[in-house]
Structure 1
């Protein structure tokens, strides 16, 4: 962490067009975007390797190189969201760009703390996969899906679907993480012909899964990955990108795309309503979506890039992205439904599944 870092204390359907290319050719940056800039930009982001990759591929080469000073305000999303909401009463806020997932963007927009973005000032947005352009207040960046990750040395015939996890033969072999509790509720609601808002039945089915398989519950992604690597569990339900990261570190893992269609997850950024430097924020958003930067991020993180023209090799694209059929089958959560229920779901999860 540098001296400038701060750490917090406290039409066609979306899925049907996901595999399509971004419309039109790349838009040339306007002259004022091309000139050297001055000023300070406060970026709220996660820490760790996520922030390190952001600096390496986006901030250092494409933003700071232009003379813009970045102050990094790092922390987990609950604290960073709370800070943004607390600044609602201020005439001028302290954050220019906040890194969040799509669901958090919906929640924060409902709290009236995000601005719609003028995407005409973000030229690279023209190349974003059309199906990801669903919200005027959110810049799509990287995405993946909740898949079945398994030890191929121990599980020669893995579950082909979410529904096949509901089987006593997997007793003691499945690992879940508290971080994805609402994804698991949606996953359970999705089986047997359901959908991602079929969450009351989803909760009932998760209790059945617990009775059948006694899954091991981990606090976070990292602990789940360690459990998969050291043999505590043989199957994990987590983001495809996470499975690829763990496999890249040498674990004998493979990915199974569920036949129901994977529940999608997308990360990106937003513009707070009281951002001190909105013009610099637009430069930052454009840098996030740079073709070369997106290729570097995909290679380092194994998330699929939102920019359809990211300069990925054919091999890397085949690894991190989805086939046309898989992309069309992705299940995007109804985040208005999630925002309305997530507090109750978390309490239910902690009482009935996590303990």
Structure 2
């Protein structure tokens, strides 16, 4: 599903995350397949077959930093890629800078990036810039086990997903808002925390309320100005700062990915999650192959490692994002915590990422001028 990263990396990732219209026209909708399938547990694949030859070469991976990158190294890169003899060079940063670098390199005969970690929306934007290659999924054996509803694009490897929910301090907010719309209330003045990393999700959220939809974004911008006037929300640079604000009592409510709220609660913060009545905006993270990647064959090794069921189960347990591989062996308790109920899955709102791709640069400029300052 579709999008940043939080415990925090530069953007979840969590920027963080799919859509209601164009990109996902398949015989079965993403929503219906997710409701029907859930995340089935299954046997795990534990790396290379015995006797497989070690690989050589250097792979440049563009990724968020922070805990997102640390988990990527722990569960994917170190045990499943570097262990094969591949040297990974990590190019870490916020996604706007990383995307800009990739776009700039399309003028070159050969680029510098082999794998780029992005959310699904960014993949659509970059594909429109003609910098991503279609992926030969026959070279990614673990892709066969990806939940069918997540297989929406030929240029994107789905990996982890969640949804934008209401996260609140259960010790200080006994009666939390049950919907996005309920945040538009003066009683939350000074209590609401937002992060610049999710500006595009907030624009869609504001368009969704009052019977709207995720493409009603011009109206959404007007409503965000109203929200600012009513509540004067604290704006944090990234997920990590927002987490600190919740922990130290600067704010009592945040709008962020369910996975991030679960991470922060797991770290000891007295937080709870409220699924919004409108339906949570879905977010999915994954990776893509640049057209001018210097080592595309090694990139395929990396993609398959990302989807390894053992790695995915480990990532789910550490990050609380739901894994794309349906055979990730999750305990019933973990699955119940990180996944959505059938009703919640049915209500997920999938962004129209073609619409997002056309407007995200303008939204960011608008956000910085009107909300972030």
Aligned to 1:189: 207
1:7-48 residue CA offsets vs partner (Å, 9 max, x unmatched): xxxx2222222234389x999999899543222222111222
Partner of 2:328 in structure 1?
310
1:172 equivalent in structure 2: 190
Structure 1 partner of 2:28: 12
Query: How far did residue 114 of structure 1 move?
Result: 0.5
Verify the 8 A CA contact 2:166 2:274 in the aligned structure 1.
Answer: yes
The higher relative CO (CA closer than 8 Å, separation ≥ 6) is in: 2
Alignment match, 2:117: 99
* CA distances 1:93-116 after superposition (whole Å, capped 9, x unpaired): 221111111111111111111000
2:44–2:310 Cα contact (<8 Å) kept:
no
Aligned to 1:52: 70
Q: Does 1:74 align with 2:92?
A: yes
Instruction: Name 1:144's counterpart in structure 2.
Output: 162
1:39 matched residue in structure 2: 57
Q: Distance in 2 between matches of 1:26 and 1:286?
A: 16
**Distance in 1 of aligned mates of 2:36 and 2:51:** 28
Match of 2:293 among 272, 275, 280: 275
The TM-score with structure 2 as length reference comes to 0.87
| Match of residue 343 from structure 1 | 361
Matches within 5 A, 1:192-341: 192-341=210-359
In 2, Cα distance between equivalents of 1:83 and 1:346: 18
SS in 1 for 2:273: strand
Return the alpha-carbon distance in structure 1 between the equivalents of residues 351 and 199 of structure 2: 13
Matched residues in 2 for 1:344 and 1:331: separation? 22
Distance 1:354 1:150 in 2: 21
Q: 2:21 maps to which residue? A: none
Deviates further, 114-123 or 64-73 = 64-73
Q: Which runs of 5+ in 2 are unaligned?
A: 1-26
Tell me how large the CA RMSD over aligned residues is: 2.2
TM-score, scaled relative to structure 1: 0.91
- Between the aligned partners of 1:343 and 1:70, the Cα distance in structure 2 is 31
Once residues 108 and 327 of structure 1 are traced to their aligned partners in structure 2, the CA distance between those partners, rounded to angstroms, is: 28
